[in-house]
Structure 1
Amino acid sequence: MRRAVRLAARGRTTTLPNPVVGCVLLSPEGFTVGEGWHEHAGGPHAEVVALRAAGAAARGATAVVTLEPCDHTGRTGPCTRALVEAGVTRVVIGTADPSPAAGGGAATLRAAGLSVEVGVEADACERVNEPWLTAVRRGRPFVTWKVATSLDGRVAAADGTSRWITSAQARADVHRLRAEVDTVLAGVGTVLADDPALTVRGAEGILAARQPLRVVADTHGRTPAAARVRDDTAPTWVATAADVGTGPDGHLDLEALLRELFARERRHVLLEGGPHLAGAFWRAGLVDRVVAYVAPALLGAGPAALEDAGIGTIADAVRLTLEDVVRVGPDLRLTLRPLAPPPPPPS
Structure 2
Amino acid sequence: METQIRKILGHYGFRGESCQVTAHGTGLINRTWMVRETESGWRYILQRINHAVFKSPEAIAGNIREISTYLQAHAPGYLFESPLRTLKGEEMVQEAGEYFRLYRYVEGSHTLDVVANPGQAYEASRQFGMFTAQLAGFDTGKLRITLADFHNLPLRYAQYREAIKKGNPERILRSKEILEALESYSGISDQAQQLGCLPLRVIHHDTKISNILFDEQGKGMCVIDLDTIMPGYYISDAGDMMRTYLSPISEEEPDNERHAIRMEIFEAIAEGYLGEMGRLMQDEERQRFVYSGSFMIYMQALRFITDYLNNDVYYGSRYEGHNLVRGTNQLVLLQKYTEKADQMQKIVREYFRR
Higher relative contact order (CA 8 A, sep 6+): 2
- Higher helix fraction: Structure 1 or Structure 2? 2
Greater gyration radius: 1
TM over 0.5: no
TM-score for both structures, normalised by structure 2: 0.28
Higher strand share: 1
User: TM-score, normalization: structure 1?
Assistant: 0.29
